[in-house]
Structure 1
Amino acid sequence: MDGRQDRVAGAMARLAAGDRDGAASLLRAALADAPDDPEILHGMACVARASGRPDLAIGLAGRAIASLPAAHFHITLGCALHEQGHLEPGRAALHVATLREPRDARAHAALAAVLGEMGRWSEAEASLRAALGLRPGDPALLLDWGRAAIMAGGAGIAGRLVASAGLFAAPDAGRLHALAVLLSERGQHGEAEGLYRLVRDLCPDQGAAWANHGAVLFALNRHDEALVALEQADRLAPDVAETLNNLGLVRMALGDLPRAGEALARSRRCAPEDVRIAVNDATILAELGDDAAAEELLRGVTADPVAGRGVEGARAEFNLGTLLLARGAMAEGWRHLEARGRLLPERRWPGVAAWDGSALPGGRLLLHAEQGVGDAIQFLRYLPECLRRVEVVLDLPPALHRLVRTMPDPDGLIASRCTLWPVGTPLPGDVAARCGLPSLPHLLGMAEVPAFAPYLLPSVGEGDGRLRVGVCWAGNPAFRFDRRRSIPPHVLAPLGDVGGLCFVSLQHGVAAGALPFVMEPAAAGDWLETARVVAGLDLVITVDTAMAHLAGAMGRPVWLLNRFGGDWRWSAAFDRGAPPCWGNGTSRWYPSLEQFRQAGPEVPERAWQAPVAALRAALAGWRQGGR
């Protein structure tokens, strides 16, 4: 190595150590002796880049390449062009570098950085795969690859990163967290969970790491694990409003209402101006029966000139609507319930205006289901009154189509003024407005529960003389708070001890595989097939699912096992005047329905014991002929 090479090597060593001035001094001295030496020019370009002068680096690297087109010169030129904002020239220079020296991981990584900034994430991911092939144990490259792969829409990214956990250390936690956030923002919570867990393992003493892992576990409905993570986060970093907010929601999902209330009250004390937390706190207060405090909080949010117009204002107004409905204040409740349109705007038919309740001369109303099957069944009772005002195109889940055709039609309104919209067909051209089924009471001005007559009437098969009892014990497990309304099969097991009955499963989905006792299997097919089974039953026992609405709408005897602080439609405000025959509640929505309500806000395992015991005793009495 000659003297000039020694000086270049020494200068680059100083630059690597952070001594830019020392490196520049050595290189200037060397340049005075050899002004066209490409290695010295390249060294000066590196110093210029390190000094924040990519414009100077471009010229110096260009002069070096003119003498010697080495791959590492092209890397420096490409990086300088990138830093100066010249993306396409930078990409071209770095592409040349990869062609000249395909075994240089730096060239592939630098090319990926430019491609990423250009939005060409698939190419960036490929370049980083090439770099990792050359340096498979480089954690920085692996993290760069992870970002590019996520941005390119790849799958299985978190799995590869988690499998390489041994390469990462605590300083990498920030970048891993950023990747987890990217995945969460794309709705890929399952993938994100692995990265949040890895961050937690790298930083076991940081409350934020546990809190973030707990939040994603909550999003995945893995409530027991979320509880452990969030309680640990609270121990490590007490009085963090977001941690306490999530902790409260998890406890609520698990049915531990008193402790959920404690956590949300603490959260609100930590962040009294956070309207999102205030709305959550109001929710748990209502569940605990403190309606006055809940209403005060919700009205405060809706009255706020800023918050009231935002998403949390809409959520507060919607929750206020359910609170008022539960109290029986139906006119105001229905009006506030319309705020759901601000929470989940209807985007399927952007050119169709929302209906205001008026007649539509020459046009028809698109009347559509919004939420679950139970809601659709409940609000179909308003269809005849709606048809007196407008003609309707009815959009329902396909599984309800045959069942709806069993609706009685004494005035011929359904036959003459209502059309079921066939699945997969274009929207009829004469549709002039749209409306969700739950908006009908408000828009029709119906502030009271309509008089009841059975409005779903499937044919009844011949029975075999035995007393037949249908049982449904679980709702949709995807519902965040399903654990409070569904009942573990073993809790219902005592009902099977009542002799002389033929039990029939009305349970569908995953829960159907775990029967609480011996019973006939559930009917296969759509809701009409289920309704035909219900029509042949002497009694339906169910938790708060669509089954209660189906049996109720058919006028069949139904006993509802209902959670404390449950859905507004089953509140005591809607009990009938006459006392129940068997349970501790009734329903003006469905006169054939009786409720067995939980008495207090205990955890589900304890809270269901008394209602199930009361129902078992009632079932035995009913079996003895008291029905």
Structure 2
Amino acid sequence: MNDDAHGRALLSAGEWSAAQAYWSARRPADSTALANLAAAWHGSGRHDLAVLTAQAAIRADERDWAGWGALGNALAGHGEFDAAIAAFAQAVRRAPNHATLLANLAVTCRDAGQPELAIQALDQAIALEPGNAQFLTDRAVALLSAGRLRDGFEAFEQRWQLDDMPAAPFAVPSWRGENPAGLRIGLFEEGGFGDTLQFVRYAPLLAERGARVVLYVRPPLRRLLSQLPGIEHVVSDDATQTQIGPLDRQCSLMSLPAAFGTDLHSVPSASWLHAEPASRSTWADRLDALCDDGLRIGLVWAGQCRAQPHQAAMDRRRSMPLAAMAALAGPGRRLISLQIGPEAAQPPPPGMELVDLTSQIGDFADTAALVANLDVVVAVDTSTAHLAASMGVKVLLLSRYDQCWRWLAGRETSPWYPSLQILRQDRPGDWSGPIARADRALSALRPRLRADRLSVEDALA
């Protein structure tokens, strides 16, 4: 293996520190070496250094596509999507048959809210590399973002061909939409808690079609999801095959929309979830001891921060400091924290009084009981937003500029959650617009009496 091949291998393996050391030692004025060094900085999450290094690569040879491609990746990682699209366009102009450049341009177009342009670019990339599972999966996500749900979910099944996709957990065939009557089908989680809460709505529908449904979930969800109608068994994901029993088929919860042929007009209702009555009453007493009858507003300002660099960057973009929500405080508003994790320790800014009972939350069933006693939830894109909207509680979703595909491009409402309003950033990283719109929306709401909150939950139950 020659030296440059070794450096490229380090990049492919994600050995960012070694790649940085290698490419830093190469020819300092060489555009290829600088572009690869920029890629190493980008891979490690140092997008600021990646931008500077990519710009140096372009200065070394502006005719080289690699510097422009590295700049596009770095700018996208920094949240500068329009500038990234311009850089990728320069790269594609210099290398029109480079499939990965076209795919990177496509993903950035999707993140900028232009899914149809993303689909066009991915069609070109796939024509060059027809069997590329990543390109096919990215195209599926673009279709979903564009609201083309039936085609998108069907194409999304290509994700199972990705190298880093974990295998399905059971040694039985997958259920793909055939008649399920009489089949014992194991449904398993994929992705985060929010993904489970969004797609678990299909489990009772599968039972209605005659399946014997076993739901296989992480422990924090087990108590909440045990209330779902028609489910034979809800088990934790650490259960053994003996505890689960024999299965005829299996299906990821995220594959159920494809199996059901879901489109924009056939999204199932999300009103399966509710709080346990006794737990709801307990949380009502806790809140009543600390709050008067003002508008009760639940707040979530940050998502979890994952370790993988590109996921960590996305987590930073979807989160905000608690201080950014200061404008939501005001007379007649009672702010209640729903924030879990390290970010819950942030002190409220001056003028914001925050009721925090989260130390008493043990699982999602507790969160549901607390949410059932609120009038509205204002949240960034987290599982709590999914939970509240699944219960029919009003949700003002503060969505990052490069929002998740599930919220669909160009919409303020969601077919998945009728009670949810999408407040997307006008500019990457700027929460002032969504917060101002949330403030206006809160001003139009009136608090429900405690009896009204309980009656609504009882009706859903």
TM class by shorter-chain length? 0.7 to 0.9
Instruction: Provide the secondary structure at the position in 2 that maps to 1:566.
Output: coil
What is the Cα deviation at residue 202 of structure 1?
6.9
TM-score for both structures, normalised by structure 2: 0.81
Question: Would the aligned equivalents of 1:285 and 1:294 in 2 still touch at CA under 8 Å?
Answer: yes
For 1:356 and 1:541, the matched residues in 2 are separated by 36
Q: How does 1:218-233 map to 2 (within 5 A)?
A: 218-233=42-57
Question: Could you tell me how far apart the structure 1 residues matched to 2:225 and 2:319 are?
Answer: 27
Which residue in the other structure is 2:157 paired with? 338
- Mapped contact 1:469–1:502 kept (Cα < 8 A): yes
Change (3 A) 1:204 1:489: farther
Deviation of 1:179 (Å): 7.5
1:437 Cα deviation (Å)? 0.9
What are structure 2's unaligned runs of at least 5 residues? 449-461
| 1:365 corresponds to which of 165, 185, 188 | 185
> 1:617 is matched by which residue type in structure 2?
R
Cα deviation for residue 185 of structure 1 reads 5.8
1:253-303 CA-to-partner distances (Å, cap 9, x unmatched) read 32211101111112222222121221121122233344443222223344x
Q: Which has the higher helix share?
A: 1
Quick one: structure 1 residues 623 and 377, their matched pair in 2 at CA, closer, same or farther if it must change by over 3 Å?
Answer: same
Deviations 1:216-253 (A, max 9, x none): 33223333333333333333343443443333233223
- Supply the AA of the counterpart residue of 2:392: G
Matched, 1:450 2:291: no
5 Å-filtered alignment, 1:34-53, equals none
User: Which amino acid in the other structure matches residue 214 of structure 1?
Assistant: A
Query: 1:429, CA displacement in angstroms?
Result: 5.3
Q: 1:308 to 1:182 in 2, by over 3 A?
A: closer
The 1:280/1:453 distance shift into structure 2, 3 A limit, reads: closer
The residue aligned with 1:598 is: 425
Q: Does 1:520 align with 2:355?
A: yes
Q: CA deviation at 1:614?
A: 2.2
Whether 2:350 is the aligned partner of 1:530: answer no
Confirm or deny that 1:542 pairs with 2:370: no
Give per-residue Cα distances to partners, 1:539-578, cap 9 Å, x unaligned.
Answer: 21111222211110011111011234522322267x6xxx
Decide which of 426, 429, 434 is 2:241's aligned counterpart. Answer: 426
Q: What secondary structure is seen at the aligned counterpart in 1 of 2:248?
A: strand
Amino acid paired to 2:267: P
1:450 alignment partner, SS class: coil
Distance change (3 Å), C-alpha of 1:429 and 1:210:
same
Distance 1:210-1:294 versus aligned 2 partners, 3 A rule: same
Separation of aligned partners in 2, 1:434 and 1:235: 54
Residue type of the partner of 1:234? I
In the comparison of the two structures, how many residue pairs are matched? 422
Measured in 1, the distance between the counterparts of 2:71 and 2:200 equals 38
Q: For the residues of structure 1 that align with 2:247 and 2:71, how far apart are their CA atoms?
A: 46
Distance 2:74 2:152 in 1: 27
Which has the larger displacement, 231-240 or 381-390?
Answer: 231-240
Q: Using a 3 Å threshold, how does the CA distance of structure 1 residues 620 and 238 change in structure 2: closer, same or farther?
A: same
Q: What amino acid maps onto 2:129 in structure 1?
A: A
AA in 1 matched with 2:251: C
Any conservation in 2 of the 1:386–1:440 contact (CA below 8 Å)? no
* Residue equivalent to 1:63: none
Instruction: Tell me: CA distance 1:455–1:528, structure 2 relative to 1, closer, same or farther (3 Å).
Output: same
Identity, % of aligned positions: 32
Name the SS for the 1:355 alignment partner. coil
The 1-side partners of 2:56 and 2:345 are apart by 35
Are 2:175 and 1:355 equivalent residues in the alignment?
yes
- Report the Cα distance in structure 2 between the residues aligned to 1:208 and 1:499, rounded to whole angstroms: 59
- Which residue of the other structure, out of 267, 280, 299, is the alignment partner of 1:471? 299
Higher Cα radius of gyration: 1
Over the aligned positions, Cα root-mean-square deviation in angstroms equals 3.1
The answer to whether the 8 A contact 1:240-1:270 is kept is yes
| 2:436 partner letter | A
Q: Which residues of 2 match residues 106-505 of structure 1 at below 5 A?
A: 187=14, 189=15, 192-193=16-17, 196-197=20-21, 199-200=23-24, 203-302=27-126, 304=127, 307-309=129-131, 311=132, 314-343=133-162, 344-349=164-169, 351-359=171-179, 363-389=183-209, 390-407=211-228, 409=229, 413-414=230-231, 417-421=232-236, 423-426=238-241, 428=244, 430-447=246-263, 448-452=265-269, 454-459=271-276, 460=280, 461-462=283-284, 463-464=287-288, 465-466=292-293, 467-478=295-306, 479=311, 480-496=313-329, 498-505=330-337
Conserved? CA contact 2:137–2:159, under 8 Å: yes
SS at match of 1:431: coil
Deviations 1:566-601, CA, capped at 9 Å, x for gaps: 22322267x6xxxxxxxxx222311211222334xx
**Paired residues for 1:95-106 under 5 Å:** none
Aligned CA distance change for structure 1 residues 233 and 400 (closer, same or farther; 3 Å): farther
Aligned partners of 2:208, 2:255: CA distance in 1, in Å? 16
Whether the aligned pair in 2 keeps the contact of 1:254 and 1:483 (CA below 8 Å) is: no
Question: For 1:514 and 1:178, how far apart are their aligned partners in 2?
Answer: 46
CA contact (8 A) 1:504 1:520 kept: yes
In the alignment, structure 1 segments of 5+ residues that lack a partner are 1-173, 576-584
Any idea what SS the aligned residue of 1:541 has? Answer: strand
Relative contact order higher in (CA < 8 Å, ≥ 6 apart): 2
Indicate conservation of the 8 Å contact 1:217/1:223, yes or no: yes
Whole-angstrom CA distance in 2 between matches of 1:361 and 1:592: 33
Which of 422, 425, 432 aligns to 1:609? It is: 432
Which amino acid counterpart does residue 492 of structure 1 have in structure 2? M
Contact 1:483/1:604 (CA < 8 Å) preserved in 2? Answer: no
Note the alpha carbon deviations across 1:427-456, whole angstroms, 9 max, x for none. 645223221111112212333343535222
Identify if the C-alpha distance between structure 1 residues 199 and 256 changes in structure 2 by more than 3 Å, giving closer, same or farther. Answer: closer
Question: How many Å separate the matches in 1 of 2:322 and 2:33?
Answer: 36
Note if contact 1:254-1:603 (Cα within 8 Å) is conserved in structure 2.
no
Q: Note if contact 1:254-1:481 (Cα within 8 Å) is conserved in structure 2.
A: no
What displacement does 1:358 show? 2.1
Contact 1:449 1:589 in 2 (8 A): no
Q: 1:348 to 1:378 in 2, by over 3 A?
A: closer
Flag the 1:300–1:378 CA change in 2: closer, same or farther, 3 A. Answer: same
Opposite residue 249 of structure 2, the aligned amino acid is: A
